[in-house]
């Protein structure tokens, strides 16, 4: 079912603390369709509608967070969007009631915050809608790439530094901690990739100007 009526209602997903609020703090506006796998989600429950993001991982499924699906009855899915508050020609809007989240999702510790939404029909890739590449095997892409060296010239002391692996976060999250609602245009941010051990060492309630993605 394609929905042609845009909605501009934004609020934050059900959460036990501010750590799981949607945000892209310090990010930049993306070029239109720079991240074609990015999906916007209006999650409808008996208590109202909340906004979340997700990634298209196959022609049939969207990967999102469990906290977006808790108590949710239906999800309006927006694919191919840049300005989420407008009804762009590139967008495909469908509604799904077929979703699942991890059986061991813990709202206190935020462990296993993962879920899947099944599209009512398979979606075809195009210039605006695409499937994200998924890591294979045991590669976590966390940690450092080893030691490298940098200096101004052969007469200046050259100092070693560590190259940290980074990843890109995208979404319509708020751009400051004090902003009400979320930004209408897609934004992105590049951050260091933390290992599971590093993530676990960060308490969910630790205040920070940068978001942490929990493994």
Q: What pLDDT does 152 receive?
A: 42
CA nearest to 185, candidates 197, 202, 173? 173
Q: CA torsion, points 40, 179, 8, 183, in degrees to nearest 10? A: -50
Q: What pLDDT does 166 receive?
A: 82
Judge whether 81 and 91 are in contact, CB under 8 Å. Answer: yes
Q: Average pLDDT per run of 10 along the chain, which is 215 residues long?
A: 35 39 69 96 93 95 95 97 95 97 89 95 97 82 57 45 76 77 86 79 55 41
Instruction: State how far the Cα of 2 lies from the Cα of 44, in Å rounded to an integer.
Output: 17
Q: What pLDDT does 97 receive?
A: 97
Q: What pLDDT does 208 receive?
A: 44
Q: What pLDDT does 2 receive?
A: 35
In what side-by-side order are the strands of the sheet with 166-171?
28-29, 187-192, 166-171
For 60, the enclosing helix (H) or strand (E) is none
The residue ranges of every structural domain in the chain are 18-136+165-200
3-state secondary structure of 6: coil
CA nearest to 170, candidates 55, 89, 63? 55
Q: Could you tell me the fold of the domain covering 18-136+165-200?
A: Thrombin, subunit H (2.40.10)
């Amino acid at each position: 079912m394609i929905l042609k009526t845009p909605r501009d209602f934004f609020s934050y997903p059900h959460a036990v603390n501010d750590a799981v609020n949607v945000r892209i703090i310090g990010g930049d506006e993306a070029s239109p369709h720079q991240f074609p796998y990015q999906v916007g989600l209006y999650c409808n429950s008996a208590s109202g509608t909340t906004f979340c993001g997700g990634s298209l991982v196959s022609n049939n499924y969207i990967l999102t967070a469990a906290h977006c699906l808790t108590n949710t009855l239906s999800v309006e899915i927006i694919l191919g969007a840049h300005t989420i508050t407008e009804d762009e020609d590139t967008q495909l809007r469908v509604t799904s009631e077929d979703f699942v989240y991890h059986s061991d999702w813990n709202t206190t510790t935020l462990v296993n915050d993962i879920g899947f939404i099944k599209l009512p029909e398979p979606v075809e890739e195009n210039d605006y809608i695409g499937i994200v590449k998924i890591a294979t095997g045991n590669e976590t892409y966390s940690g450092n790439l080893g030691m490298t060296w940098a200096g101004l010239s052969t007469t200046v002391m050259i100092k070693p530094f560590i190259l940290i692996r980074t990843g890109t976060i995208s979404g319509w999250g708020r751009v400051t901690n004090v902003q009400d609602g979320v930004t209408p245009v897609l934004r992105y941010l590049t951050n260091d990739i933390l290992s599971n051990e590093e993530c676990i060492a960060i308490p969910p309630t630790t205040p920070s100007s940068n978001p942490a993605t929990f493994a």
